[in-house]
Structure 1
Amino acid sequence: MPNLFWGLLLLLSSFVSFSQTDKSFSVKLISESVQLDGALDEPFWENADGPHDFQQYFPSDSILAENQTDIKMVYDNTTLYIGIRVESVGDDWVIPSLRRDFRASGNDNVNLVFDTFNDGTNAFMFGINPYGVQREVLISGGGLDLRGFNTAWDVKWKGESKRYSGYYTAELAIPLTSFKFKEGETKWRFQCYRFDMQSNERSVWYNVPQNQLVISLAFMGDMFFEQPLGKSRTPVALIPYINTISEKDFEGDLSDTRLKVGGDAKVSIGNGMNLDITLNPDFSNVEVDDIITNLTRFEIGLPERRQFFVDNSDLFGSFGGSRDANPFFSRRIGIARDTADNSIENRIIGGVRLSGKLNEDWRLGFLNIQTDEDIANEIASNNNMMFALQKKVFSRSNIGMFLINKQSFKDYDFIARDEEYNRVVGMDYNLASKDNSWFGKFYLHKSFQPDDNTGNFSSGAFIGRNSRRFNFFHDMAYIGEDFQSDLGFVPRKDIFKTATSAEVVFWPKSDVINSHGFEVFPIITWRPGLDFKQTDHVYNLNWNVNFQNQSMGGIGFSNSFIFLTEPFDPTNTDGAVELPGNQGYYFNSITAAYESNRANVFAIEAETSVGRFFNGNRFSFMGQFNLRLQPKALISLALNYDKLSLPAPYSSADLWLISPRFEFTFNKSLFWTTILQYSNQRDNLGINSRLQWRFAPLSDLFIVYNDNYFVNTFAPRYRSINLKFTYWLNI
């Protein structure tokens, strides 16, 4: 395996291609003051340089944009100032919400991307819409896919917009301390993309082919500063909080009211590193997770939303295979299993997190977090540590190494010797060619536990090719039966899995269809521990279509095989009769999906499938319905229905997951969101209502109400109300 690993690495490195950067502009140094009101009436804007001549990205990628965007930039010793003029065919702007960190697709906005270390791997993004609503994003992994698009990041900056007839203007003031960059730098890479809903057009400054994501960092021009940038003067940020919570557990007939105090600190180390410190953190204000109907035998991973884990999260969480063998999954920290094997909160005492750029080629990540003991639930106090080091190679590729250690803080009677610690070490190579046509990953990881130092490997290889007409990838993963990562996401062990996708895409000259393509996508799994017996396969044949009105759809056929080594109940309901193990099941299904243009006042997403399921039948429907009452309200309904019909004596079920969501933005500082989630599979009706007042930059007052009921008896289960105050203080 190691020889094959390095041989493939060297072979694929020879495929790295190069493209020429041919767009650039200069950023002038100014001494004048700027009145940030959205109007570009200061004299220096007339002579400032910046990006112009935007290219169309959709519906075509070969012509200039019909409605142009003109950007100008200047800077002083502390701040980068950006002036934007956005032209359109009218004044009917699509603005679903006034809430910060809006979703870009389906509304009018412009987004600016800065690659400050010129590495084509990581970038900062800032966006604004015609109403002056702001968003900021961290982009990692070269913008290869949306897993590297992190909207949970927050940083201080200002922006205002003004609307006129047929266009709007915006002024942005972004402190240089909001970026990370090398001292003395004179050049950053830059890209800008824009969504124009009135003209059904998406445009970019630096041309991006439609077969690539618009956030790809492979396609960027250059911005040159008139004088070298100085040393970072980022202040220390203290973010204390006070939280009062009152809660009642109706199952255990327990009530509690308490006051929590804690906070975070952010310290800049040089121009490229961040030190984050947390003490007794509280995440009660974090938006509630979406419930998912799970018909599989395996755990489902949910995204990290806690702010402490966000900065440079790719340094820690991008190792291995995200679907099969991710050795570090930050959501594991702060969660533990009680004596009844239920997941419960495990209090975090405190921790530190050092991450960022050492220089142009090296990145460093170090995390150390201590969790509290819970003797009643037999949960140990654990130290959770990860060290990661990443080296850039070639144009946009990198090699990463890591060490993970989870260890009990002291001896406990209820902790077996083989559970005292868990360690994982590994190395990854991430391939990304300069034009993003080739991409891939190769990794080899090993875990260690007491008295268990042999075997325990996880490895994988992934290679893909993205072109306008033909797309291809092949993924292989091996996870040993004894591989263990307590801080990771590893749904299955003892598998050797391959997944291959081959797609051909057509670009017809049509007023209706923008592109469509056919894909063959087989996934096959073997069990090495069962003499490499094939235990799973899914053969998929798909046709997908993108329409000129920005809607999309598709149909697919799948042939599945599952060999159950253990009895299994796919309904996951109480009292169900399990399907017998040591038996194989073949079944087919057909799926159809459609998504309308998100800019519609009433937008829908729908997917339905019908076919066999194990030894019975299954009908499924998933729908998302959105009603926009702009710019104050967005009302949505998510609906999942699964009808499982299995022959007697096995259990059939009608599984419902209904989730209405009401989001009201009274202004750019006051937001109210209420989410209801009904799941009869989980026997739970949950209500989460959150009122947020952003009274100062990144400083908030939250009122969060949670209520949970049993579905069958409609009896109360758990109820809480939180009042949380957090303030961002620079010193």
Structure 2
Amino acid sequence: MAFQKPVLFTFLYLALVVITARAQKINNHYQLHINKATSPVTVDGRMDESAWQEAESATDFHMITPMDTSRARLRTEVRMTYDDRNLYIIAVNFRGEPDPNVVESLRRDFNFGNNDNFLLFMDPFDDQTNGFSFGANAEGAEWDGLMYDGGSVNLSWDNKWVSKVRNYEDRWVFEAAIPFKSLRYDQEITTWGINFSRYDLTFQEKSGWAPVPRQFPSASLAYTGNLVWDAPPPSAGSNISVIPHLLGGLNKDFQPSDSPSYRREAGVNAKIGLNSSLNLDLTINPDFSQVEVDEQIIDTERFELFFPEKRQFFLENEDLFANFGNENIRPFFSRRIGLDAPILFGGRLSGQINRDWRVGAMNMQTERVSEQNIPSRNFSVFALKRRVSDRSNLGLIFVNKESLGSLADNGNGGTAADAGYNRNIGVEYDLATSSDLWNGNFTLLKSFSSETSGRTFGHTASVLYSDGNWKVQWAQDYVGSDFTAETGYVPRNGYIRLYPEVGYLFFPANGRVLSHGPTISTSTYFDESLLNTDYENKITYSVNFRNGGTLSSWITHRFVELLDPFDPTSISGYNLEAGSRHTWNNLGLEFASKPQSLYTYLFSVQRGGFFAGGDRLYLRSELGFRFQPYINISAYTSYNRLDLPQPWNRSEFWLVGNRLDITFTKNIYFTTFVQYNDQLDNININSRFQWRFQPASDLFVVYTDNYIPGSFSVKSRSLMLKLTYWWNL
């Protein structure tokens, strides 16, 4: 039986569409009225202007955790106002006792759970799906991100705004000015979704102005209140930003030893606001050398690993393109563009057409690299989303990759591995009920390629119910054996996968434990003839402590029938045969300490079987210490020991990394990241200095070294200096 037109369990979605009928927003009666400022506002962390005295306040916050049935113990007071250029917010965060602030550092876009913080979640279209988040920790480190999927925040997004945090004996005050040019909104919409979140680690209390059930993040847009404008929001006016960059540096490869190559380059990005909700991004000769290196792992998996996008150009409205499908079936993955060949130029149009329609279009052109037989390529993506109820959406995506020039002509002597074209088209239904109790996704994909035909469909489906105690999910995937997504992330082909999960949480009324409970899950793979090729059954028991610590234990039973030859060590060169069958069990335990301590730690251990009747021991530890708020030191170590029969015998892999973060101020950072990977036989050092001399304008100095362990012989070395400047026209 082949799934050429996979529609299994589609009826679930047809039934659940009824649930998504339009309903009044849950916290619709929570309203904060915003009026135009009657006096100038200076962002200084003081509430002494008359505009603040006259502004309406939001207070009486509700506790989210540890319990969601009472008012917050800590008092928070928020006011908002605006003028012709900026949206202003001030938040007074009162302390419960004179304890010092708990923060990691002054680094931008901090970890939510490791810092005392205040955050704003804003939904200008009140569609309860997309928006913006701004805020700061208690020492002034800024947080800004794009919101998507109704409650997730992409902190890699960066924009132009200013803030100030001032500390007093009994409180700390956050004040910010957010330019209307930095937002996307419709002037005809005068009621925005909004909520405010406060997190205090000393009291272990998370609270929100509009109440949010504890099973959801405080960022959940389904539970926002309303920001009610006294008049239509001001126009952003001429909204054109030009962001040029200059780059200089040198690279030297020592194996074999080459003469240093020098880089002297320039490029420019431009952001053009076509209206207050639709943006056009353009780039010529972009460079992303300032982006931090990926954190390495020991790879014993059969399929490609996923690393998230960090490059700024691809991030605004990224969810329109990148969130189509699920974590293992993505028709578009922007990291396929520009990592093996330089980008020459590109453009992307994205944003809201109105409250119900969102659109995204992108076109990128990469350079030919003759030395590596990589042709010039053109990448095009088009995405469209239509809201069909309060929080559910229908989507369409089209992805095209075209190889150009003589290297792409495989039929006439070219050697490009990706000759011709590859295209994907897909439709998607995202389910999200007004209460967020039900969520789901249904996606159908079809690929077209110059080299493949046949079983070229892909399909995903999932339904999730979560009410605080119960979490129940049904999910399934199908990828045809000939389905290809060269500009996407689809690490495996020719399978049907079913992976249901059921979990329950108990909430004791008192004691050290906040919640605990079991989760039972299974992941089963079939080939296209419905023969079982893989499964993993797993039982997990998790404990969440009131002080923020966590403990988790699990047991798994796994079966794999190899579809292709596979080296279980990834480096030996000896493969297990295709068709061989392997079964084993695993036990695991992990504990993470409370995050408010200056010294934090995590320890994890797994022990059990492995391929070929072997044995695997996996140990992982993470240690952290902070001299807050300026210095944060962390180190992690993982150890993999594989005991296998001949010819592999015993293999031991160490991965050791440490990171030093020094935040001299909230605008000057120095980071050094060192990684030793035994499996890759490499030591990597990446040091980055960043000076944000104006909002969204930076000077970067980046130094990178790669060494051979033991002899410490240098493999390669580079030093880069990059200057970017954000210029509003």
TM-score by structure 1 length? Answer: 0.95
Q: What is the CA-CA distance between 1:415 and the residue it aligns to?
A: 4.8
What does residue 75 of structure 2 align with? 68
Contact 2:533/2:560 (8 A) holds in 1:
yes
List per-residue Cα deviations over 1:588-630 (Å, max 9, x = no partner).
0101011112221011122111111121111101222110111
Pairing 1:587–2:595 present? no
Name which of 669, 680, 683 aligns with 1:682: 680
Pairing 1:320–2:325 present? yes
C-alpha separation in 2, matches of 1:418 and 1:257: 30
- % of aligned pairs identical? 35
List per-residue Cα deviations over 1:145-183 (Å, max 9, x = no partner).
xxx421011111111122111111222111122211112
Counting matched residue pairs gives 714
What does residue 341 of structure 1 align with? none
List per-residue Cα deviations over 1:174-209 (Å, max 9, x = no partner).
112221111232110101111112222111111111
Contact 2:348/2:363 (8 A) holds in 1:
yes
C-alpha separation in 1, matches of 2:188 and 2:659: 48
What does residue 236 of structure 2 align with? 232
> Greater shift after overlay, 91-100 or 275-284?
91-100
List per-residue Cα deviations over 1:305-355 (Å, max 9, x = no partner).
000001000000011121x211100001013xxxxxxxxx31111100110
What does residue 11 of structure 1 align with? 15
> For 1:271, what is the secondary structure of its paired residue?
coil
Pairing 1:496–2:503 present? no
What does residue 624 of structure 1 align with? 622
Contact 1:184/1:231 (8 A) holds in 2:
no
What does residue 523 of structure 1 align with? 523
Q: What is the CA-CA distance between 1:578 and the residue it aligns to?
A: 2.6
Within-5 A mapping of 1:259-408: 259-322=264-327, 324-335=328-339, 345-408=340-403
List per-residue Cα deviations over 1:423-473 (Å, max 9, x = no partner).
110101100111110000001100111264543000111111011221111
Q: What is the CA-CA distance between 1:713 and the residue it aligns to?
A: 4.6
Pairing 1:461–2:461 present? yes
C-alpha separation in 2, matches of 1:494 and 1:361: 36
Amino acid paired to 1:116:
P
Pairing 1:106–2:114 present? yes
Amino acid paired to 2:641:
K
Contact 1:418/1:449 (8 A) holds in 2:
no
Q: What is the CA-CA distance between 1:256 and the residue it aligns to?
A: 0.6
What does residue 410 of structure 2 align with? none
Amino acid paired to 1:226:
D
What does residue 505 of structure 1 align with? 505
Within-5 A mapping of 1:30-109: 30-88=37-95, 89-109=97-117
What does residue 342 of structure 1 align with? none
What does residue 173 of structure 2 align with? 169
Within-5 A mapping of 1:644-655: 644-655=642-653
> Greater shift after overlay, 30-39 or 407-416?
407-416
Within-5 A mapping of 1:538-557: 538-557=536-555
Amino acid paired to 2:490:
V
Amino acid paired to 1:677:
Q
Q: What is the CA-CA distance between 1:280 and the residue it aligns to?
A: 0.6
Amino acid paired to 2:456:
N
What does residue 186 of structure 1 align with? 190
C-alpha separation in 2, matches of 1:417 and 1:635: 44
C-alpha separation in 2, matches of 1:650 and 1:4: 42
C-alpha separation in 2, matches of 1:490 and 1:207: 39
Amino acid paired to 1:62:
T
> For 2:112, what is the secondary structure of its paired residue?
coil
Q: What is the CA-CA distance between 1:3 and the residue it aligns to?
A: 5.8
> Greater shift after overlay, 585-594 or 13-22?
13-22
> Greater shift after overlay, 16-25 or 83-92?
16-25
> Greater shift after overlay, 406-415 or 211-220?
406-415
Contact 1:36/1:160 (8 A) holds in 2:
yes
Q: What is the CA-CA distance between 1:79 and the residue it aligns to?
A: 1.3
> For 1:46, what is the secondary structure of its paired residue?
helix
Name which of 131, 136, 144 aligns with 1:136: 144
Q: What is the CA-CA distance between 1:133 and the residue it aligns to?
A: 2.2
> For 1:142, what is the secondary structure of its paired residue?
coil
C-alpha separation in 2, matches of 1:502 and 1:539: 12
C-alpha separation in 1, matches of 2:553 and 2:99: 37
Q: What is the CA-CA distance between 1:214 and the residue it aligns to?
A: 2.0
**Structure 2: gaps spanning 5 or more residues:** 408-412
- Flag the 1:417–1:609 CA change in 2: closer, same or farther, 3 A: closer
Contact 1:130/1:161 (8 A) holds in 2:
yes
Contact 2:41/2:51 (8 A) holds in 1:
no
Q: What is the CA-CA distance between 1:6 and the residue it aligns to?
A: 5.4
Name which of 155, 164, 178 aligns with 1:151: 155
What does residue 564 of structure 1 align with? 562
Q: What is the CA-CA distance between 1:712 and the residue it aligns to?
A: 5.5
Q: What is the CA-CA distance between 1:84 and the residue it aligns to?
A: 1.3
> For 1:395, what is the secondary structure of its paired residue?
coil
> For 1:359, what is the secondary structure of its paired residue?
coil
C-alpha separation in 2, matches of 1:238 and 1:203: 39
Contact 2:453/2:482 (8 A) holds in 1:
no
TM-score by structure 2 length? Answer: 0.96
Q: What is the CA-CA distance between 1:31 and the residue it aligns to?
A: 3.5
Within-5 A mapping of 1:716-727: 716-727=714-725
Pairing 1:121–2:121 present? no
Amino acid paired to 2:610:
F
C-alpha separation in 1, matches of 2:679 and 2:188: 58
> For 1:105, what is the secondary structure of its paired residue?
helix
Amino acid paired to 1:391:
R
Q: What is the CA-CA distance between 1:478 and the residue it aligns to?
A: 0.4
Name which of 258, 263, 269 aligns with 2:263: 258
Contact 1:157/1:173 (8 A) holds in 2:
yes
Contact 2:124/2:184 (8 A) holds in 1:
yes
List per-residue Cα deviations over 1:292-316 (Å, max 9, x = no partner).
1111111101010000001000000
Amino acid paired to 1:705:
Y
C-alpha separation in 2, matches of 1:258 and 1:647: 49
C-alpha separation in 2, matches of 1:3 and 1:472: 21
> Greater shift after overlay, 260-269 or 174-183?
174-183
What does residue 634 of structure 1 align with? 632
What does residue 475 of structure 2 align with? 475
- Flag the 1:684–1:469 CA change in 2: closer, same or farther, 3 A: same
C-alpha separation in 1, matches of 2:180 and 2:27: 28
C-alpha separation in 2, matches of 1:584 and 1:360: 53
Name which of 652, 657, 660 aligns with 1:659: 657
Contact 1:251/1:717 (8 A) holds in 2:
yes
- Flag the 1:451–1:281 CA change in 2: closer, same or farther, 3 A: closer
C-alpha separation in 1, matches of 2:717 and 2:32: 56
Q: What is the CA-CA distance between 1:50 and the residue it aligns to?
A: 2.9
Q: What is the CA-CA distance between 1:477 and the residue it aligns to?
A: 0.4
Contact 1:418/1:451 (8 A) holds in 2:
no
> Greater shift after overlay, 456-465 or 247-256?
247-256
> Greater shift after overlay, 447-456 or 552-561?
447-456
What does residue 602 of structure 2 align with? 605
List per-residue Cα deviations over 1:681-728 (Å, max 9, x = no partner).
011100000111111111111110000012255321111000111111
List per-residue Cα deviations over 1:101-131 (Å, max 9, x = no partner).
2222111110001100000000100012232
